[in-house]
Chains A and B, each alone.
Chain A
Amino acid sequence: MLELQNISYTVTDDGKNKEIIRDVSLKLEDDKFYVITGPNGGGKSTLARLISGIVKPDSGKILFDGKDITDMSITDRARNGISFAFQQPVRFKGITVKDLITLAAGDMSTADACAYLSEVGLCARDYINREVNASLSGGELKRIEIAVTMARSSKLTVFDEPEAGIDLWSFNNLIKVFDRLHDKLHGCIVIISHQERIINIADELILIAGGRVTKTGSKEEVMPLINSGNWAVDSCDKLNI
């Protein structure tokens, strides 16, 4: 499905080079549910942006279904079956929820696409004609982002901290939503999350700290490392603080 080969990515901050992703290699398989976790600033969101094409790596290769997509645009990656739900959804003046859902759903009927709104706890009738603008709360916007991304029914879907800004009541439903999506899609789902309850439904965990993949494996294999907190110490050591 998706393979990252020796990916590195550096940004320049205040004239200094900062390596955000360091020689990351990963293989994600079809029909699997991955959770990427790790400390803040460890490189998780950057990895998602590299996968969706928003940023390009300095070195390394990205293969999708065996095809090299390293230099492929965001648009072409989307058309080839990669979806990405932003951590901080974007607001648009004048563009409605319906516009985004219809765009995402492609051939799907609007009625079917609207079902995704219901799944994330929004009454389609109340929201479908709303503009995706500042009149929506952060939580509403986040749920719309999740619904729009789900409507694409892609081979690979990446959600960047979908639980952020969502209330506890909706969060319980969100877990069920991802579970159902996994059953339905038979694609690969990647969720960046810190939430143990999302971690619990993962087939595989990927622990990222200091720009590196520190550990991959089942919950049983990775959780002890997370709970011990050793990975955070490693990260500090690398910065020589």
Chain B
Amino acid sequence: MNNMDNIQKRLLEEVADLHEIPEGAYNIRSNGEGAGRRSTEHIEITTKTDKPGIDIHIKDNTVRESVHIPVIISQTGLTESVYNDFFIGENCDVTIIAGCGIHNCGTQKSEHDGIHTFLVGKNSRVRYVEKHYGEGDGRGEVVLNPQTIVHLAENSYLEMDTVQIKGVDSTIRTTRGDVADNATLIVKEKIMTHGTQHAETDFIVDLNGVNSGTHLVSRSVAKENSTQMFRSNIRGNNACNGHSECDAIIMDNGKVAAVPELEANCVDASLIHEAAIGKIAGEQLTKLMSLGLTEEEAVEMIVNGFLK
């Protein structure tokens, strides 16, 4: 980490809020290479031998520990697919912070496709935080296609918070989940696109267990000429509860499409989808302007609050 230049350090700050070496286990990948790693007594990080990426083994009963695995790219034209597999034991309570920051000031495309697989053991709780960020004044595209695959064992819980606010030209975010008895998968995503960016979200969750549940929440803002597509498919294969919610603000010439799909394969499955797409309500602007904000300031406050 000490060998990093200022651009790399700033990217690290953006995606992982890291100013210095984090506490706990970590693995930092920079321009396709390892830039630092630490395993701990309960969390072991090893390099994959068959393909790029790492395995993270978290022992049974690991509680109140965290893993940071940020990826940063400042080299134009770098394209990589990285496989990170998390093997989380039973009765754990851990936080995993991932994220990818790309600085592309060249003319070639920079792309990072992170494929994250989580095998969550019985009775474990995982909080997974993921942030994507792109910058650079070159004409080269910034492309991020994260895939998240979650297997939840009985009575386990995974909450995924994913944020992509700035600078990513093209993204296809794929999430797959299967949920066993009494287990719950929560996904909260926040996306803002501008310019001619395009973002796609694609969730498929199988609620296989008795009393399994999922809650997918997407909040997004599409500005200027950007486009977004939200697809979700919740399959209720047992007595379960599934809920998906897509809430989008469109501005300028932004376009958002939502294609929700619910599949009840069991009579005791209870599945709900809500979608709301529209511009900022005029009365919201009026209210904030009557408190002294200009129209532009009111728009900013509404958008910031919406994506907070």
Q: How many residues of A contact B (CB 8 A)?
A: 24
Which residues of chain B have C-beta atoms less than 8 A from A11's C-beta? none
Q: Is the CB of A94 within 8 A of B284?
A: no
B292 to chain A, nearest CB (A): 4
How far apart are the CA atoms of A74 and B247 in the complex, in Å?
A: 28
Chain A: minimal CB distance from B278 (Å): 12
B99 to chain A, nearest CB (A): 22
Given A84-B290, A86-B283, A103-B291, 12 more pairs with CB closer than 8 A: A73-B289, A74-B289, A75-B289, A75-B292, A78-B289, A78-B292, A90-B287, A93-B305, A96-B305, A104-B291, A148-B291, A152-B292
Q: Does B295 contact A (CB under 8 A)?
A: yes
Question: How distant is the Cα of A104 from the Cα of B284 in the complex, in angstroms?
Answer: 15
Q: Which of A90, A93, A148 contacts B306 (CB 8 A)?
A: A93
B294 at the interface (CB under 8 A from A): yes
Contacts of B149 in A (CB 8 A): none
- Number of B residues near A (Cβ < 8 Å) is 22
Interface centre among A93, A104, A106 (most CB of B within 10 A): A93
For A86, the chain B residues whose CB sits under 8 A away are 283, 287
For the complex, what is the distance from the CA of A94 to the CA of B219, rounded to whole Å? Answer: 10
Main secondary structure of the interface of B (DSSP, over half): helix
Contact of B291 among A54, A73, A78 (CB under 8 A): A78
* Residue ID in chain A nearest B276 by CB atoms: A93
For window 263-308 of B, CB contacts with A under 8 Å fall at 281, 283-284, 286-295, 301-302, 304-308
The answer to whether A152 touches B291 (Cβ under 8 A) is yes
Q: Which residues of A contact B302 (CB under 8 A)?
A: 92, 95
Q: Which of A53-90 contact B (CB under 8 A)?
A: 54, 73-75, 78-79, 83-84, 86, 89-90
B44 to chain A, nearest CB (A): 39
Question: Is A94 a contact partner of B308 (Cβ separation < 8 A)?
Answer: yes
Instruction: List 7 A–B pairs whose Cβ atoms lie within 8 Å, in order of A's numbering.
Output: A79-B292, A90-B281, A90-B286, A92-B284, A93-B305, A94-B304, A94-B305
Q: How far is the CB of B224 from chain A (nearest CB, A)?
A: 21
In Å, the complex CA distance between A209 and B96 comes to: 64
Smallest distance from the beta carbon of B279 to chain A beta carbons, Å? 14
- Is B290 a contact of A52 with CB atoms below 8 Å? yes
A97 CB, nearest partner CB in chain B, Å: 12
Q: Which residues of B contact A100 (CB under 8 A)?
A: 291
- Which of B283, B290, B305 contacts A99 (CB under 8 A)? B305
Q: Which residues of A contact B308 (CB under 8 A)?
A: 94
Name which residue of chain A comes closest to B280, CB basis.
A92
Least CB separation from A158: chain B residue: B290
Is the CB–CB distance between A103 and B288 below 8 Å?
yes
Residues of A within 8 A of B295 (CB): 75
Whole-angstrom CA separation of A93 from B284 in the bound complex: 10
Q: A142-192: which residues lie under 8 A (CB-CB) from chain B?
A: 148, 152
A103 close to B307 (CB less than 8 A): no
User: A73 vs B302: C-alpha distance in the bound complex, in angstroms?
Assistant: 19
A152 to B292, CA, bound (A): 10
Is the pair A103, B292 in contact by a Cβ cutoff of 8 Å?
Answer: yes
A43–B305 CA distance with the chains assembled, in angstroms: 34
Contact A74 B286, CB 8 Å, known A93-B247, A94-B306, A100-B291? yes
Residues of A near B283 (CB, < 8 A) are 86, 90
When distances are taken between beta carbons in the complex, the residues of chain B under 8 Å from A103 are 288, 291-293, 301
Across the interface, which residues of B come within 8 angstroms of A92, CB to CB? Answer: 284, 302, 305
- A89→B289 CA distance, assembly (Å): 14
B286:A54 contact, CB within 8 angstroms: yes
Top 6 A-B pairs, shortest CB-CB distance? A94-B305, A95-B305, A74-B289, A78-B292, A90-B287, A94-B306
Distance in Å from the Cβ of A186 to the closest Cβ of chain B? 21
Residue of A83, A93, A96 near B290 (CB, 8 A) is: A83
Closest Cβ neighbor of A79 among chain B residues: B292
Most buried by A among B219, B283, B287, B302: B287
Is the beta-carbon distance between A75 and B284 smaller than 8 angstroms? no
Chain B residues within 8 Å of A148, by CB: 291
Check A54/B306 contact, CB under 8 A, given A90-B281, A95-B301: no
- In the docked arrangement, what's the CA distance between A100 and B294, Å? 15
| Min distance, Cβ B286 to any Cβ of chain A, angstroms | 6
* Residues of B contacting A54 in the complex (Cβ-Cβ under 8 angstroms): 286, 290
Contacts A90-B281, A90-B284; is A78 near B290 (CB within 8 Å)?
yes
* Residues of B with C-beta under 8 A to A152: 291-292
Residues from chain A with Cβ under 8 Å of B286 in the complex: 54, 74, 90
- CB pair A75–B306 under 8 Å, yes or no, is no
Enumerate chain A residues within 8 angstroms of B291, measured Cβ to Cβ: 78, 100, 103-104, 148, 152
8 Å CB contacts to B: which residues of A83-128? Answer: 83-84, 86, 89-90, 92-96, 99-100, 103-104, 106
